[in-house]
């Protein structure tokens, strides 16, 4: 039997712990949100570092080897970038 007993409301079907369900759901929601934020920032940390990227000279050499630029363009761009 549910209802008031000694001035205390027993809640739905006599369970007093029903009121704590809201706190449990709030806690689960916070854990999920924090987990998603953590994964989003963690994924961003796997970006290549500056040391892993090609130098301008390497890029220029690849373009010349692949035939994208002529020998004259290669020399001009090399001088423009002050590369040796």
DSSP string, the chain: --SEETTEE--GGG-GGGGGHHHHHHHHHHHHHHHHHHHHHHHHTTSPPGGGSPPHHHHHHHHHHTTSS-HHHHHHHHHHTT--
Compute the distance between CA of residue 84 and CA of residue 3 in angstroms, rounded to an integer: 89
Q: Tens digit of pLDDT for each residue in 33-63?
A: 999 888 888 766 555 555 567 888 889 999 9
pTM metric for this prediction: 0.38
Do 4 and 43 belong together in one domain? yes
Do 23 and 57 belong together in one domain? no
Q: If you count them, how many residues does the chain have?
A: 84
Contact between 11 and 2 (Cβ < 8 Å): yes
Domain tally for the chain?
Answer: 2
Which range marks the domain in which residue 80 is found?
A: 48-84
For residue 9, name the pLDDT band (cuts at 50, 70, 90).
low
For residue 66, name the pLDDT band (cuts at 50, 70, 90).
very high
């Amino acid at each position: 039997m549910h209802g008031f007993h000694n001035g205390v409301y027993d809640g739905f079907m006599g369970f007093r712990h029903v009121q704590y369900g809201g706190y449990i759901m709030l806690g689960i929601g916070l854990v999920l949100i924090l987990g998603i934020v953590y994964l989003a920032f963690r994924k961003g940390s796997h970006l290549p570092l500056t040391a892993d990227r090609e130098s301008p000279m390497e890029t220029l050499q690849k373009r010349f080897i692949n035939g994208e630029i002529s020998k004259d363009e290669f020399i001009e761009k090399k001088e423009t970038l002050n590369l040796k």
